[in-house]
Amino acid sequence: MADKILLANWKMNFVEPKAYFDAFADALGESSLEGVQVGFAVPYTMLASVYAHASSSYTVYAQNVHERESGAFTGEISWPLLESLSISGSLIGHSERRQYFQETDAQVAKKLETTLKRGHQAVVCIGETQAQRERGETFSVLTTQLTPLLPFLSEDANCLLAYEPVWAIGTGLSATSEQAQEVHGWIQDFLQANGKLRGGIPLLYGGSANGGNLEALLRQPDIDGALVGGASLQPLDFAKMALIACSC
């Protein structure tokens, strides 16, 4: 496992892959990203092109995958359909999927199960809304989201968890490094209390991560990386973040 993990989530935004990766490589110059796993979760139609233009040391992810392998599910994509594309894994249960497409905790657990069974990496997203945080429900929400995942989270499971507080996503209002660490530490405690190896599952932070706050976040003991939306769309910004991750 790399020391730090930096994943881009391009969401439903078009990025021209060749121009992006040319500019990304230029911005890195001679610097090596050794010790950092860099990956890109991109729209389905860009997966092949991103794989073709990205350095072979970067990983490529879908942003969602159906829990079933085939069938009458119009508009959905399954692992057997994605497997021709040499991708590493998929985001699962992003808060935008939960919020706008009514994905349930049970469905997220099913997607995790299918993804691991087919031999791919799962990046499972969890996090509370602003209203839930204000009501003091952060840890009970996380308990509800994490509990159905527990049967699949063995220490050798090919899985990352991403704590993405919904109130920090796309708002420019990142959690402070202390707020993020408090929750990441709690998640590791929760996993340990449920028989998992502490630190066995890497934990990413997501929510307005950028070149200005990344270092403080990554210097926290239980923050193993970041899942980056808006700031990953500009290759110069994201290259800067990759270099910061390298130095942490």
The active-site residue out of 53, 66, 67, 94 is: 94
User: Any contact of residue 9 with ligand 13P (CB under 6 A)?
Assistant: yes
User: Any contact of residue 228 with ligand 13P (CB under 6 A)?
Assistant: yes
What distances in angstroms separate CA 242 from CA 33, 83, 231, one per listed residue?
A: 7, 27, 11
Q: Which of residues 97-116 bind ligand 13P (CB under 6 A)?
A: none
| 3 state SS for 96-132 | HHHHHHCCCHHHHHHHHHHHHHCCCEEEEEECCCHHH
**3-state DSSP call for residue 20?**
helix
Q: What gap in Å lies between CA 66 and CA 64, rounded to an integer? A: 7
User: Any contact of residue 207 with ligand 13P (CB under 6 A)?
Assistant: yes
**3-state DSSP call for residue 212?**
coil
For residues 9 and 227, is the Cβ–Cβ distance under 8 A? yes
User: Any contact of residue 208 with ligand 13P (CB under 6 A)?
Assistant: yes
Minimum distance, C-beta of residue 123 to ligand 13P, in the bound complex (Å)? 9
Would you call 164 a catalytic residue per the annotation?
A: yes
Minimum distance, C-beta of residue 74 to ligand 13P, in the bound complex (Å)? 26
Minimum distance, C-beta of residue 164 to ligand 13P, in the bound complex (Å)? 5
User: Any contact of residue 17 with ligand 13P (CB under 6 A)?
Assistant: no
**3-state DSSP call for residue 38?**
strand
What distances in angstroms separate CA 179 from CA 138, 175, 183, 229, one per listed residue?
A: 11, 6, 7, 19
Residue with smallest beta-carbon separation from ligand 13P: 229
Binding mask 110-149 for ligand 13P (x = CB under 6 A): ----------------------------------------
Would you call 66 a catalytic residue per the annotation?
A: no
Kindly indicate which of the ranges 65-73, 135-143, 163-171, 217-225 contains the residues binding ligand 13P, using the contact rule CB under 6 A: 163-171
Contacts of 58 (CB under 8 A, 6+ apart): 38, 39, 40
Minimum distance, C-beta of residue 167 to ligand 13P, in the bound complex (Å)? 10
What are the residue numbers of the active site?
94, 164
Chain residues in the site for ligand 13P (CB under 6 A): 9, 94, 164, 169-170, 206-209, 227-231
